[in-house]
Amino acid sequence: SQQGEEDPQALSIQEGENATMNCSYKTSINNLQWYRQNSGRGLVHLILIRSNEREKHSGRLRVTLDTSKKSSSLLITASRAADTASYFCATDTSGGSYIPTFGRGTSLIVHP
């Protein structure tokens, strides 16, 4: 079963709007990461947030983490057509081994 699950499965917005996607996970984590995948290609790392952090920014990206709810959100502000991609959250586990475990992703389409 997937450790992280993204929501919504698909999101369609207009250029300039903000896009928010959520990730829920099941077990305790050391960190949570967000990745982006352009159609049929490899994943690109976007941002890492540690379990003792609540919010992190990188350019137009804002990530929050709520460990009490076992959830995270990724906000992309002022979206662009080039942001069209699938976005995945990945969690490690707290069991000592680092194995990035992914959800099914959110497919984001930004219309120009």
- Count H helices and E strands in the chain, helices first: 0, 11
- Does 33 bind other proteins (CB under 8 A)? Our answer is yes
CB–CB of 21/8 below 8 Å? yes
CA distance 45 to 36: 7
Stretch that binds other proteins, among 10-18, 36-44, 62-70, 72-80 (CB under 8 A): 36-44
Q: What is the largest CA-CA distance in the chain?
A: 44
- The three-class DSSP label of residue 82 is helix
Q: How far is the CB of 15 from other proteins (least distance, A)?
A: 27
- Near other proteins in 55-94, by CB under 8 A: 88, 90, 92
Among 10, 41, 54, 82, binds other proteins (CB under 8 A): 41
- Does 25 bind other proteins (CB under 8 A)? Our answer is no
Beta bridge partners of 34: 47, 89
- Does 108 bind other proteins (CB under 8 A)? Our answer is no
Sites of contact with other proteins (CB under 8 A): 2, 30-31, 33, 35, 40-45, 48, 88, 90, 92, 97-105
